[in-house]
Amino acid sequence: MKSEEIKQITSKAIDQLAAALEAGKSQALTSYLTAMARFRKYSLFNLMLILRACPNASRVAGYRTWHSLGRYVKKGEKGIMILAPIFRKRSKDEAEPNDVDNSRALVGYRAVFVFDESQTEGADVPRIGTVCGDPSAHLARLEGFVRSQGIALDYSTDIAPAKGMSEGLKITLLPGQTAAETFSTLAHEYAHSALHFDDRRPDSTKRVRETEAEAVAFVVCDAIGLETGSAAQDYIALYNGDAELLLESLEYIQKAAGQILDALNIEPPSALPLLQTPASDRPV
């Protein structure tokens, strides 16, 4: 595929993604964020207790929280013990000048029990969009391309609940994903390997890196006809990415997406629609 064709395909897809970001949060993302707000953040010590009891734990909550989400603990499941702080009301004489909260004093801890999502059943927990469709032979071609770049590719459950992880010259994917999700995740992680492990890394932020990687995945998935829905938009929004950042990063997105599209030997469409943003206004 010619470089100009790759640029046009990339620009068209980025225009679509930018428009979606400017439209605001999708209903799927709003529902997801509302549900996630009900899950507490646990201390490192409690996380160690959780993982010791349930090494594959992905999302834990108390009985009442699961009930509020329409899910119920399965019969016979044993709770995972963690420690919850016990506070009592503090008198004015006990107030410490540097305390953030002078109204309560920590007096000890008590054992409480939480349950992993796998120990519950009922209504589906809201999740952000997923990629659907059949990448067909493109998945094997993408795997081959990644390895041809000197990047080791492995599949392991150890990275759960993450779907993928890039360490520069090694990419690990979570097994058990659909072919479409595997393809999208691999494109995302390859973008990290190609763009974010060089001299540019110290000057970039996680917001920039995740926006660029997911934009690359969106471009490639769109090019082979996968149904992305609001998946890319929702993921980028989680990292506060926006349309302006997409355009600022267009050169880097085109670079990584172009490498993949060229390797996949995608047939360009016979006629591409006019771009919403003039080429002269884009970074070169």
Instruction: Yes or no: say if 22 and 226 are a contact pair by the CB < 8 Å rule.
Output: no
Q: What is the pLDDT of residue 201?
A: 87
Q: What is the pLDDT of residue 276?
A: 35
- Distance in angstroms (rounded) separating the CA atoms of residues 181 and 242: 23
Between β-strands 164-166 and 170-173, what pairing exists: parallel, antiparallel or unpaired?
Answer: antiparallel
Q: What is the pLDDT of residue 263?
A: 92
In sequence order, what are the residues at sequence separation of 6 or more whose Cβ sits closer than 8 angstroms to the Cβ of residue 267?
A: none
Phi, psi of 108 (to 5 degrees): 160, -165
Q: What is the pLDDT of residue 156?
A: 95
What DSSP designation does 196 have?
A: S
Q: What is the pLDDT of residue 99?
A: 52
* % of the chain residues with pLDDT over 70: 88
In sequence order, what are the residues at sequence separation of 6 or more whose Cβ sits closer than 8 angstroms to the Cβ of residue 275?
A: 8, 11, 12, 15
- Distance in angstroms (rounded) separating the CA atoms of residues 59 and 80: 12
Q: What is the pLDDT of residue 71?
A: 94
Buried b (16+ CB within 10 A) or exposed e, 49-62: bbeebbeebebbbb
Q: What is the pLDDT of residue 98?
A: 54
- Distance in angstroms (rounded) separating the CA atoms of residues 48 and 55: 9
Show the low-confidence residues of the chain (pLDDT under 70): 1, 91-103, 266-284
Residue with tokens 């080429």: 279
Between β-strands 104-116 and 80-89, what pairing exists: parallel, antiparallel or unpaired?
Answer: antiparallel
The full DSSP string for 88-120 is: EEPPGGG--TT-S--SEEEEEEEEEEEEEGGGE
Q: What is the pLDDT of residue 155?
A: 96
Chain segment 63-111, per-residue pLDDT in tens: 999 999 899 999 999 999 999 988 888 766 655 555 545 667 888 999 9
- Distance in angstroms (rounded) separating the CA atoms of residues 35 and 37: 5
* Closest-CA residue to 55 (of 126, 127, 159): 159
- Distance in angstroms (rounded) separating the CA atoms of residues 168 and 192: 7
Whole-model pTM: value is: 0.72
Instruction: Please tell me whether the peptide bond between 161 and the residue prior to it is cis, using omega within 30 degrees of 0.
Output: yes
- The three-state secondary structure class of 258 is helix
Q: Give me Rg for the CA atoms of the chain.
A: 23
